[in-house]
Chains A and B, each alone.
Chain A
Amino acid sequence: MAKLNLNRMEMPRQNPIERGKNFNEVALGYTREMAKEEASRCIQCAKRPCTEGCPVMVDIPEFIKAVTEDNMPEAVRALKGKNALPGICGRVCPQEVQCEAVCTLGKKGAPVAIGRLERYVADWERENIAPDKRKVEMAPATGKKVAVVGSGPASLTAAADLTKMGHEVVMFEALHVAGGVLMYGIPEFRLPKAVVQGEVEFVKSLGVDIRLNSVVGKLNTVDELLQNGYSAVFLGTGAGLPIFLNCPGENLNGIYSANEFLTRVNLMKAYRFPEYDTPVRIGKRVAVIGGGNVAMDSARCALRLGAEKVYVIYRRSAVELPARHEEVENAQEEGIDFRFLTNPKQFIGDDSNNLAAMECYQMELGEPDASGRRRPVVKEGSEFKIDVDVAIIALGTTPNPLIASTTDGLETTKHGTVVADESTGKTVKAGVWAGGDLVTGAATVISAMGAGKRAAADIDKFLRG
């Protein structure tokens, strides 16, 4: 038996100083040799816990075996059998808490770098096989029409599956490009927009009719869709409503929700202003409030725009930081200054309503709250000021209320999420399914995709009677 290699192949990355000045992808991708070497670490164990650990049950050992054999078309087939957007998942999935967390090799050493291999296979396909040349098995047309609202990961997955099952799918997207949070939220240096558009083109090539600039709830309602020829509706409108602190001074010029900041920078390409018309304020001293992946993304974008100093202000400690470890590490390497146990009290402006400083409290951790994490408590009298000229509020998002407020009979929670069955995505409203962040609140791309898959299967069952 070959000697077990307990160390994984490093992912080549741009060096931290260099990459802090550009928006190019940080991770450069495996070469063919690196991929084959990493793939051969997989011992093709009988138990295959990795597949169970994947929210969409990718046949991981199969695609990895094909990589070792240099049989790329087979690797693509095995991978895309379950995952419609592997170029995206390979880059943004938290594999460390999913497939890689349960990898058999992980018991002795480093787990197989499943995510990096997935990316390698997806990129190979994108670079070598045009969307319309890809072999896809399509079921015969059923004559049934399904409306998919939103074009993020849940919707793209549902649409792809439903179309392959033979149904006619029309997708309604409010923005001027498809992809949802994949386009406006996750930055170019983590998820190149060309990769996202490649996946969108693939979904279109299957026959999905994507209608941009179409705001369901304004242009038409869900009930109108059901009355006008659509036998089922899938709601994948995400969680796009920003949460603000509601502290004094939050409307000063230079204070952004992370959504606005990232939309300007990533979707509207403000990092290339004035070549692109949309501006963004380039702060010299930027504070990002929050500790999740969106906060990391915001901080790293602010740095790349030219900030001299970027702070991440988080009210709990490093232990509780919810962002992916890999992203925190990337941010720290790039020189971002993490201030833990700190929370804003108020923002202070100058005479022209411009942000000039932030007054913060020091925090300490008390008893656990509902989320199980220790509750942050203000240390009285601990106020101190930090000079900042841009602040980005990255505290999370909840669903935009537009769909719920214009759809009779949909059940929602007090957080604004839509109630849907966990295994089927069915809502209490006849003919309407929902999945992704709209149902769970802000979560991951892959969990949205899993929801899209399950809903498509259930819609298919419903449409076939």
Chain B
Amino acid sequence: MYKILHIEQLVPSIHLFKVEAPEVAKKAQAGQFVVVRLDENGERIPLTFADWDAQEGTVTIIFMEVGTTTHRLARMKAGDFITDFVGPLGVPTHVEKFGTVLCVAGGVGVAPIVPIARALKQNGNKVITIMGARSKNLLFWEDRLKSASDQLIVTTDDGSYGRKALVTEPLKELLESGEKIDRVIAIGPSIMMKFCAATSKPFGVKTIVSLNPIMVDGTGMCGCCRVAVGGVTKFACVEGPDFDGHQVDWNLLAARQRTYTAEEKQSLEQWRCHCGEEK
């Protein structure tokens, strides 16, 4: 049982939880994730690390309310317990002195980008970060991203804050600017990562994305998280979640993410019927 020490609602539907998990906190690295199960009836879902503190023995996860599990999670309070919390899983994001790295953080993707940007800076990289959301009220952790980067560009789809643009526009401009860009790391909704990869491809800049297929165990035993990269099937939970964005079969990822749309709807409706009561 893993105690929830602190919760924060960052923006509508996006929540931050600080969880007591000392063993996991000791080993966590940027780009990795945990698998969470709320209780006996719960499913197992992956959530990336937003932060951790080995001294304190805590791990911070940020999640968006999407389906039953995240809706139920959102109604938990500090002092409650999460039944299962497994990690750190996945291969950590590869960080070395690349030179200049562009980080692109879309929506809830800001959470995993913060520790990655920090690690990149610690390794002597110049870090230029683009963060984007649909509108001002959905932006969070701007201050953290700013202090983790050498330069931060903020965009909103509707122009309510920062520059009115999709994240791919400043990305393209930076790649065209003549400044040597050695790597792009893009994390956010699949469609955003797909378009970031498409944007950087003509420039030949290695682009790393963090794939988010459906998972069950997260340790490589079931193959639920199969993605195709360069025509080869890979298990995202053990060979990823980071992959070369130019090689990913984005259509397959999107299609497989829709496998349980009907069941997810049924489950959420059933939960809503109970008005958020605990089962």
Binding site for B on A (CB under 8 A): 174-176, 212-215, 218-220, 240-242, 244, 246, 250-251, 253-254, 256-257, 259-260, 263-264, 268-269, 273-279, 281, 352-353, 400-402
In the complex, how many angstroms separate the beta carbon of B84 from the nearest chain A beta carbon? 4
Residue pair B41, A275 in contact (C-beta under 8 Å): yes
Q: Tell me which residues across on chain A come within 8 A of B256, comparing CB atoms.
A: 251, 253, 353
Contact partner, A175, options B83, B85, B217, B258, Cβ 8 Å: B217
Chain A residues closer than 8 Å to B37, beta-carbon distance: 176
Q: A241-B220, A242-B223, A260-B224 are in contact. Are A254 and B259 (CB under 8 A)?
A: yes
Q: Tell me, in angstroms, the Cα distance from A76 to B228 when the chains sit together.
A: 53
Asked if residues B255 and A352 are in contact (CB atoms below 8 Å), the reply is: yes
- Are A277 and B41 neighbours in the complex by a CB distance under 8 Å? yes
**Chain A nearest CB: distance from B239 CB in Å?**
10
- Nearest chain A CB to B228 CB, angstrom units: 6
Docked complex Cα distance between A286 and B224 (Å): 18
Q: Which residues of B contact A174 (CB under 8 A)?
A: 86, 217, 219
* Interface contact A402-B84, CB-CB below 8 Å: no
Chain B interface residue count, CB cutoff 8 Å, equals 42
- Please measure, in the bound complex, the distance between the C-alpha atom of A235 and the C-alpha atom of B171, giving whole angstroms: 48
Residues of B with C-beta under 8 A to A219: 23-24, 27, 87-88
Are A277 and B68 interface neighbours, CB within 8 A? yes
- B contact residues around A240 at 8 Å (CB): 219-221
Q: Does B174 contact A (CB under 8 A)?
A: no
Q: With contacts A218-B27, A253-B256 known, is A277 near B43, CB below 8 A? A: yes
Contact B86–A215 (Cβ < 8 Å): yes
A-B residue pairs in contact (CB < 8 Å), sample of 20 = A174-B217, A213-B85, A214-B23, A214-B86, A215-B89, A220-B23, A220-B27, A242-B222, A253-B258, A260-B222, A263-B217, A268-B44, A268-B216, A275-B279, A276-B41, A276-B43, A277-B43, A278-B44, A279-B267, A352-B255
Residue of A nearest to B85 (CB): A213
Contact present for A244 and B233 (CB under 8 Å): yes
In the complex the two chains form, what is the Cα distance from A364 to B191 in whole Å? 47
* A257-B222 contact, Cβ under 8 Å, with A220-B27, A251-B252, A273-B263: yes
Sort A-B residue pairs by CB-CB distance and give the 6 closest, nearest first: A353-B255, A279-B263, A260-B222, A240-B221, A176-B84, A277-B43
- The answer to whether the Cβ of B226 comes within 8 Å of any Cβ in the partner chain is yes
A contact residues around B43 at 8 Å (CB): 268, 276-278
Residues on B with C-beta less than 8 A from A259 are 221-223
List chain A residues, Cβ under 8 A from B238: 402
Q: Which residues of B contact A (CB under 8 A)?
A: 23-24, 27, 37, 41-44, 68-69, 83-89, 216-217, 219-224, 226, 228, 233, 238, 251-252, 255-256, 258-260, 263-264, 266-267, 270, 279
| Interface hub of A214, A244, A260, A277 (most chain B Cβ within 10 A) | A277
Which of A220, A241, A256, A279 is in CB contact (< 8 Å) with B221? A241
Among candidates B84, B221, B258, residue contacting A242 with C-beta atoms closer than 8 Å: B221
* CB atoms of A279 and B27 under 8 A apart: no
Q: Provide the bound-state CA to CA distance between A378 and B87, in Å.
A: 44
Q: Which residues of B contact A277 (CB under 8 A)?
A: 41-43, 68-69, 267
Q: Are A213 and B226 in contact (CB under 8 A)?
A: no
Known: A242-B221, A279-B260. Contact between A218 and B255, CB under 8 A? no
Roughly how many angstroms separate A251 CA and B223 CA in the complex, as a whole number? 10
Contacts of A263 in B (CB 8 A): 216-217, 221-222
Question: How many Å lie between the Cα of A263 and that of B222 in the bound state?
Answer: 8
With contacts A220-B27, A274-B270, A275-B41 taken as known, whether A402 is within 8 angstroms of B220 at the C-beta atoms is: yes
CB < 8 Å: which of A215, A256, A274 contacts B266? A274
Taken together as a complex, chains A and B put the C-alpha atoms of A240 and B220 apart, in Å, by: 8
Besides A215-B219, A269-B41, A352-B255, 5 new A-B residue pairs in contact (Cβ under 8 A), listed by A number: A219-B23, A244-B223, A250-B233, A274-B266, A275-B279
Nearest Cβ on chain A to B260's Cβ, whole angstroms: 5
Nearest-CB distance from A341 to chain B (Å)? 27
Question: For residue B251, which residue of chain A has the nearest CB?
Answer: A353
Is the beta-carbon distance between A251 and B42 smaller than 8 angstroms? no
CB distance from B56 to the nearest CB of A (A): 18
User: Smallest Cβ distance from A443 to chain B, in angstroms?
Assistant: 17
Query: What chain B residues lie within 8 Å of A275 (beta carbons)?
Result: 41, 279
Of A212, A353, A400, most B-chain CB atoms within 10 Å: A353
B13 to chain A, nearest CB (A): 19
Name the residue of chain A whose CB is nearest to the CB of B266: A274
Q: How far is the CB of B61 from chain A (nearest CB, A)?
A: 15
Q: Using Cβ atoms and an 8 Å threshold, which residues of chain B touch A257?
A: 222-223
A213 with B69: in contact, given A251-B226, A259-B223, A400-B219 (CB under 8 Å)?
A: no
Instruction: For residue B275, give the distance in angstroms from its CB to the closest CB of chain A.
Output: 16
Q: Say yes or no: A213 contacts B221, CB within 8 Å.
A: no
Bound Cα distance from A175 to B68, whole angstroms: 21
Query: Nearest B residue to A264 by beta-carbon distance?
Result: B216
Whether B223 contacts A260 by the Cβ 8 Å rule is yes
Min C-beta distance of B249 to chain A, whole Å: 9
Say whether A273 contacts B267, CB under 8 Å: yes
Which residue of chain A has its CB nearest to the CB of B228? A251
**Which residue among B216, B222, B228 has the maximum number of chain A CB atoms within 10 Å of its CB?**
B222
B264 touches A279 (CB 8 A): yes
Decide if A260 touches B216 in the complex (CB within 8 Å): yes
Measured CB to CB, the closest approach of chain A to B276, in angstroms, equals 14
Q: Which of A212, A244, A246, A281 contacts B259 (CB 8 A)?
A: A281
Closest to A243 in B: B223
Determine whether the beta carbon of B83 is less than 8 Å from that of A176: yes
| B89: chain A residues within 8 A (beta carbon) | 215, 218
Distance between B35 CB and nearest chain A CB, rounded to angstroms: 8
Identify which of A213, A244, A273, A400 contacts B84 (C-beta below 8 A): A213
